[in-house]
Structure 1
Amino acid sequence: MNTQADVEDCGTSQPTSDNQLLSLHSSESDNECDSDDEWEPTSDNQLLSLHSSESDNKCDSDDEWEPTSDNQLLSLHSSQSDNESDTEDSDELDETREGPSDLNTLTSPKTQNVKGQTWSLSNKLSQDLKTPKQTDSTRSHTGKKRFSCTECGKMCNTKAQLNQHMRTHTGEKPFTCKVCSKGFGIKSNLKVHMRTIHTGEKPFTCKVCSKGFGQKGALTYHMRTHTGEKPFTCNVCSKGFRQKVALTDHMRTHTGEKPFNCNVCIKCFGAKSSLKVHMRTHTLEKGFTCDICGKGFRQKGALTYHMRTHTGEKPCTCNVCGKGFRQKGDLTDHMRIHTGEKPFTCKVCSKGFRLKSALPYHMRTHAGEKPFTCNVCSKGFRVKGALTDHMRTHTGEKPFTCKVCIKCFGAKSSLKVHMRTHTGEKAFTCKVCSKGFGVKCNLMEHMRTHTGEKPFTCKVCSKGFSKKSSLTFHMVTHTGE
């Protein structure tokens, strides 16, 4: 394909270095020596030096060859020598090529109009030399993803990322903990495991409160407790979350999805963490233990709240009355005292309750169920706390003491009622006449004066009474006691 051209040489010897080649080619001698022999560049450096020389006087050629098509241009540029270097990536062209043997073809600054643009071999070679090789690093910036998962079609930037992803399909866990032999698919997960479980190392520290964390991501989430940032928002109810996984779990409360199943009792859960806590009810495991009293807990949060009973810490404060609480949930329940909200309603009598826990106990009044029985007098109770208070009537224990008059009580609720005698507080008010009462049961008895209700009936004469104490006094008329 190439046309031979006469090349003038200054002698029979060939240049032995790139500098001699450049001097030979750029010489400004008026009388150039003739030579029938042809000299070819023997290395890429000689070719590049010869090709890029800017001599004003170039060797003459009787014939000129120009590429007549894009294919000829590509063929000329990518023509391979007999001894080509091996490439590391079969998808990329070999960068080590030998140029054409015709000296005039390389040295002549020939140009041709290709697709409306002026083309020159010099410019083409220079442009290709400047084009960077596409690497994993450049792909991460350009967004180009070359490696595709054959299982799910996911695209990865690098082959290493693809190999790591494939382990999610194969279940392979090549990284094993030397302490407990637990396996991991990613090396970084093994490092985190070692910090959080075995070594206790916490290299990431909060600059605000100095709390340490084993993972950088955990520190990021923690910082949002200081900034109040909640970047993940539910598109149904607009509730904000600090972590994406918390939003994912929350969305299942709207969809009703419960993908996590207990393999013991087949109970389903919307969050993996909820299933993990539930499984401890079967194993009876209590992995979190109080260092002060030795009490065990199934959840870390429960231990955190328990520790506040020792420290007296109450970080959750009511913005209406200033009362403090150990848990946020307790504050939420308390706020309903101020708002009057009773979101939990009995389906039998439509009675509303401020606390969710109060509704199941109330339902036992309809069913007549009293599952908690005193082992001394066999009296039954609907609530376990009521049985606990009752047992103190047998033991004589009175652990709750008034700080004003040092009077003691067997039940915490009794102390609470007693304190109102010192403060004069009347927390329960009649909606009809606005009369106030310190005890809820007194308000209920008072309301019967407005409604005329008499729920306590004599079994002898069927007379009704609004108070239980009134019925007791009436029974004396029949028994004479």
Structure 2
Amino acid sequence: LKEPEPPQIKEEPGELCIIQDEYHQNEEGNPHEESTSTTDEETDPQNRDQKKRRDRSHNGSLGKKCKQSPKEKKHSHFKCYICKECGKSFCNISLFRIHIRIHAEDKRFSCKECDKSFSHRSNLKRHIRIHTGEKPFSCKECEKRFSYVSSLKTHMRTHTGEKPITCKECDKSFTCLSSIKTHMRTHTGEKPFSCKECEKRFSRISHLTSHMRMHTGEKPFSCKECDKSFSDVSSLKRHIRTHTGEKPFSCKECEKRFSDVSSLKTHIRSHTGEKPFSCKECEKGFSDVSSLKTHMRTHTGENLQTRIKTDTREKPLSIFIRGMHN
């Protein structure tokens, strides 16, 4: 007699959530493709039996009871796979097989370019775009292209203005998780990126990259108006405003406008009276570094004769120094 087929068990949503927490869904919108397709190993009865034994003995144990819902308790054949690596339970062999690949023992999909391995073919396909430069996802607003749909979704927020991720410390909002991670370092003071030349540390990799150009002398950003070059984009943008006359930063006290934020900060000190830069020789305070440097020359005598001729039109030295201190 033919044995009756066991009744179908409905998978509980919680079981699927375990998998979704461990894996990001395929960016093309499909789950991991190999989980729904059969391989030669799975179709061969001998190989299939070997794989079952390997799954049970090495990664998990079969037959331990799971927490069952009332519906599931009706089925006497209901059994569970438990991962020995992390203790998670699965009542579906396919989901269990997907899970055990997390633990790096079944990363069978390798990249030929860099030998990096992946548990799923879909993840390998996504990774390969790093090498090929393929960007299949395009923005309908500006036609900019992206390698991953997640990158496109993040980019779309620049058009919609959506900032769904909020900092709990200061309520500042961000478009993506990486931005808030970088921002959090302003609160924690963490500076994970260090310069190998001078050991100076930075909170952002972009700041380190710009800093390294100080050592190499590289200035890849050039002004089209005067061909002056700069080591970083922000310096170039500030410089361009000297040509355009743009002054986007305004003082809330007197509405005076400035071309860069550092000039605005220095100006604000004229309202607050703050003088954070002090002379080590006489402890006189200044609102900006340039004023302190100018003052220091009165102690060192650096370029003093030149400055007397150019700045004071041959005024006596005593008058010049008195004016500098006042």
TM range (shorter): 0.5 to 0.7
Unaligned 5+ segments in structure 1 are 1-39, 42-46, 53-82, 94-121, 140-144, 151-157, 165-171, 176-184, 196-200, 372-378, 394-454, 458-465, 469-481
1: CA distance, partners of 2:162 / 2:273:
32
Residue equivalent to 1:147? 102
Residue equivalent to 1:360? 293
- Greater Rg, structure 1 or structure 2? 1
Residue equivalent to 1:86? 48
| Deviation per residue, 1:370-390 (Å, 9 max, x gap) | 28xxxxxxx4249xxx97x89
Residue equivalent to 2:182? 246
> What's the offset of the Cα at 1:220?
7.3
Residue equivalent to 1:187? 128
Q: Contact 2:139–2:156 at 8 Å: present in 1 too?
A: no
Summarize the Cα distance change of 1:366–1:287 in structure 2 as closer, same or farther, 3 Å threshold: same
Q: Contact 1:213–1:219 at 8 Å: present in 2 too?
A: no
DSSP-derived class of the 1:362 partner: helix
Amino acid of the residue matched to residue 114 of structure 2? Answer: K
DSSP-derived class of the 1:124 partner: coil
Summarize the Cα distance change of 1:368–1:336 in structure 2 as closer, same or farther, 3 Å threshold: same
Residue equivalent to 1:431? none
Amino acid of the residue matched to residue 48 of structure 1? Answer: P
Residue equivalent to 2:247? 314
Residue equivalent to 2:62? none
Aligned pairs for 1:6-155 (under 5 A) are 40-41=1-2, 47-48=3-4, 86-87=48-49, 88=51, 90-92=54-56, 123-125=75-77, 127=78, 132-135=92-95, 147-148=102-103
DSSP-derived class of the 2:264 partner: helix
2: CA distance, partners of 1:202 / 1:280:
33
Question: Which structure's relative contact order is higher, taking Cα pairs within 8 Å and 6+ residues apart?
Answer: 2
Residue equivalent to 1:330? 263
DSSP-derived class of the 1:91 partner: helix
2: CA distance, partners of 1:324 / 1:160:
60
Residue equivalent to 1:380? 306
Seq. identity, %: 25
Summarize the Cα distance change of 1:291–1:284 in structure 2 as closer, same or farther, 3 Å threshold: same
2: CA distance, partners of 1:330 / 1:211:
37
Q: 1:347 aligns with which of 266, 280, 284?
A: 280
Summarize the Cα distance change of 1:341–1:189 in structure 2 as closer, same or farther, 3 Å threshold: farther
Q: 2:114 aligns with which of 173, 176, 184?
A: 173
Residue equivalent to 1:268? 200
| Deviation per residue, 1:376-431 (Å, 9 max, x gap) | xxx4249xxx97x89xx9xxxxxxxxxxxxxxxxxxxxxxxxxxxxxxxxxxxxxx
Unaligned 5+ segments in structure 2 are 8-44, 58-73, 81-90, 117-125
Q: Contact 1:262–1:275 at 8 Å: present in 2 too?
A: no
> What's the offset of the Cα at 1:137?
9.9
Residue equivalent to 2:166? 231
Q: Contact 1:241–1:247 at 8 Å: present in 2 too?
A: no
| Deviation per residue, 1:128-153 (Å, 9 max, x gap) | 69x533427985xxxxx763369xxx
Which structure has the highest helix share of the two?
2
Amino acid of the residue matched to residue 231 of structure 1? Answer: T
Q: Contact 2:193–2:208 at 8 Å: present in 1 too?
A: no
Summarize the Cα distance change of 1:363–1:335 in structure 2 as closer, same or farther, 3 Å threshold: same
TM-score using structure 1 length: 0.38
Q: Contact 2:195–2:212 at 8 Å: present in 1 too?
A: no
TM-score using structure 2 length: 0.52
DSSP-derived class of the 2:93 partner: coil
Q: Contact 1:249–1:270 at 8 Å: present in 2 too?
A: no
> What's the offset of the Cα at 1:356?
2.6
Summarize the Cα distance change of 1:84–1:285 in structure 2 as closer, same or farther, 3 Å threshold: closer
DSSP-derived class of the 1:321 partner: coil
CA-atom RMSD, angstroms?
5.0
Summarize the Cα distance change of 1:211–1:284 in structure 2 as closer, same or farther, 3 Å threshold: farther
Residue equivalent to 2:42? none
Between the two proteins, the alignment pairs up a number of residues equal to 235
2: CA distance, partners of 1:233 / 1:293:
45
> What's the offset of the Cα at 1:319?
1.6
Summarize the Cα distance change of 1:203–1:350 in structure 2 as closer, same or farther, 3 Å threshold: farther
2: CA distance, partners of 1:368 / 1:331:
31
